[in-house]
Chain A
């Protein structure tokens, strides 16, 4: 198994330099430069500096995971990348174009919550976005059929989400994203509500889909093992305001699956991530406890 490449001692500035020195062969797909997000004062609550300043280059076709303590701004980072939230400072680009308050074409998001529409069958859930785009019926049929096959949902096309398990509903959401053929897929803790075994199997499926679609994936997760198992690079974030403490390259082969968890270097990666995040998580817990007082 390829050795872990760690950048010990690299602070945000060192990391920023490293990110800027992305090898020329790796095409930058999505890019954050000096991005900060501050939620303004509202209804008596003080302004909240949630994120940044942060720099990040997502390389085309890579699988990037983000881990960090609760409330560190992971989901804010995803929303900024998706165009669901505007930045306070800095720039966000996707395929060279600035993202300004609208989700760009080619970006798909899978949320932690069940976002399948309960009033539609699995088939109609998948076809929903394509119909809204005015795509012709033949193309919709072919795309939905492919996505159902790819996610193993072909036998459940006529079922309603309420008839499916939590894991299968999340698969519906993934398939609904895939059917739009996104080039950048953002996953916001999509397996957060699933049990450990299902999470591992879903992780395998996401890896397979990533290989088959060639899309760039950014995964937000609080599970260090999940990040270490799935990603090419794992960004560890500090407590709020979230900044990257370090980015760890896993150097896994592309055809990996969950069995990689038994590799010797897997333990080293998760150990390294935990050593980075332990104090940050304590800080975050302390802040939360202080808030309760």
Chain B
């Protein structure tokens, strides 16, 4: 463990400790925030009682489906647009302003079409994730050194073999950034969509607790969502680190 890691843990522990002390001593009102120890106990109890399981499964299912679809279609669409410079020039302004568009504004429309099912939140999560994947795929393909293509030609490789064995591995660090962002955006989109009108999921559980003045439930669920997102990010960061270190990019 590096010194920076130790410092990060120390800062986190200090903040955690201060919050615990402040809430236990009454410096911070329990109506505002509950002690972190109670958040942990509450989160544990939610899992132990099985109460959280349907919400957890619903959220994860939406994140997984939206991420996988966004990664697959985003990669194919990104590669396709990359190979058509004219189309790319046309779409560039759209990509540049995409994340300024409030996709949530369309949520009622999706509910109108698909009903109060998991599909509307999956669609929101998908639309949040797919363009990040497309942009990073194009970025990765842009940055592939021209000499790799020449090498593939010298090795008399077919177009398909070149795509599979040279282009894809060469673009992988950027594609992986796309994967990382797609998962993060899918998570964000799912939780946020669950807040609005969904009848299940961790976002819905937070919203439900908030509307019922259930501070314990609110913070326990927030802690679960935060832990989930941190763990997901750490796993992806670890893989990305291995990938980049191997290529001398980290």
Question: Chain A interface (Cβ within 8 Å of chain B)?
Answer: 82, 84, 102-103, 105, 107-109, 111, 113-115, 117-119, 128-129, 132-133, 160-163, 180
In whole angstroms, how far apart are the Cα atoms of A108 and B156 in the complex?
10
**Contact partners of B145 in chain A: CB under 8 A:** 113, 115
How far, in whole Å, are A103 and B249 apart by their CA atoms in the complex?
32
Q: Does B19 contact A (CB under 8 A)?
A: no
Q: Are A115 and B147 in contact (CB under 8 A)?
A: yes
Given A113-B147, A117-B170: A160 and B153 interface contact (C-beta under 8 Å):
no
Q: Please state if A132 and B165 are interface contacts (CB–CB under 8 Å).
A: yes
Across the interface, A84 reaches (CB within 8 A) one of B150, B170, B249, namely B150
| Dominant secondary structure of chain A at its interface with chain B | loop
Q: Do A160 and B154 contact each other (CB < 8 Å), given the known contacts A111-B147, A117-B148?
A: no
Whose C-beta in chain B lies nearest to the C-beta of A163?
B248
B83 interfacial contact with A, CB 8 Å: no
**Chain B residues numbered 180-233 whose CB sits less than 8 Å from any CB in chain A:** none
B245, closest chain A residue (CB): A162
B151, CB-defined interface residue at 8 Å: yes
Q: Is the CB of A119 within 8 A of B246?
A: yes
Complex Cα gap A232–B161 (Å): 38
Interface flag for B169 (CB, 8 Å): yes
A129 to chain B, nearest CB (A): 4
In the assembled complex, the CB of B151 is this many whole angstroms from the nearest CB of chain A, namely 5
**CB contact between B155 and one of A113, A118, A128, A163 (< 8 Å): that residue:** A128
How far, in angstroms, from A84 to B161 measured CA to CA in the complex? 18
Q: Is the CB of B157 within 8 A of A160?
A: no
Q: B152: nearest residue on chain A (CB-CB)?
A: A132
How far, in whole Å, are A118 and B246 apart by their CA atoms in the complex? 7
**B151→A132 contact, CB < 8 A:** no
Residues of B within 8 A of A105 (CB): 156
Let me know if A111 and B151 touch, CB within 8 A.
yes
8 CB-based A-B contacts, threshold 8 Å: A103-B153, A111-B151, A113-B145, A115-B151, A133-B156, A160-B248, A161-B248, A162-B247
Nearest CB to that of B166 among chain A residues? A117
Write the nearest CB–CB distance from B241 to chain A, whole angstroms. 14
Known: A103-B156, A162-B248. 16 other contacts (CB 8 A): A105-B156, A107-B154, A109-B151, A109-B154, A111-B150, A111-B151, A113-B145, A115-B148, A119-B172, A119-B247, A128-B165, A132-B157, A132-B161, A132-B165, A133-B156, A160-B246
Chain B residues in 8 Å Cβ range of A118: 246-248
Q: Interface residues of B: mostly helix, strand, loop or mixed?
A: helix
Known: A128-B155, A132-B157, A132-B161. A117 touches B169 (CB 8 A): yes
Q: Which residue of B lies closest to A105 (CB)?
A: B156
Other-chain residue from B154, B169, B170 in contact with A103 (beta carbon distance below 8 A): B154
Give every chain B residue within 8 A of A82 (Cβ-Cβ): 154
Q: Are A119 and B170 in contact (CB-based, < 8 A)?
A: yes
Task: List, in ascending order, chain A residues with CB within 8 A of B172's CB.
Answer: 119
Known: A111-B150, A119-B172. A160 touches B155 (CB 8 A): no
When distances are taken between beta carbons in the complex, the residues of chain B under 8 Å from A102 are 156
CB pair A129–B150 under 8 Å, yes or no, is no
Q: Cα distance A84–B154 when bound, in Å? A: 8
3 closest A-B pairs by CB: A162-B248, A118-B247, A113-B147
User: Which one of B151, B172, B248, B249 has the highest number of Cβ atoms from chain A below 10 Å of its Cβ?
Assistant: B151
Decide if A84 touches B155 in the complex (CB within 8 Å): no
Measured between beta carbons, the chain B residues less than 8 angstroms from A161 are 248
**Which residues of chain A have C-beta atoms less than 8 A from B147's C-beta?**
111, 113-115
Q: How far is the CB of B82 from chain A (nearest CB, A)?
A: 18
Tell me the minimal C-beta distance from B221 to chain A in angstroms.
Answer: 41
Q: Considering residues A102, A119, A128, which has the most beta carbons from chain B within 10 angstroms of its beta carbon?
A: A119
The closest CB in chain A to the CB of B168 belongs to A119
Interface contact B247-A160, CB-CB below 8 Å: yes
Contact in complex: A108, B169 (CB < 8 Å): no
CB distance from A232 to the nearest CB of B (A): 24
User: When chains A and B are docked, how far (Å) is the Cα of A76 from the Cα of B116?
Assistant: 63
Complex: A163 Cα to B170 Cα, angstroms: 17
CB distance from A183 to the nearest CB of B (A): 14
The complex places the Cα of A111 from the Cα of B150 at a distance, in Å, of 9
Nearest B residue to A116, CB-CB? B151
Q: Are B246 and A162 in contact (CB under 8 A)?
A: yes
- Whether B156 pairs with A109 at a CB distance below 8 angstroms is no
Kindly state the separation between the CA atoms of A82 and B153 in the bound complex, as whole angstroms.
10
* Contact yes or no, B154 A108, CB < 8 A: yes
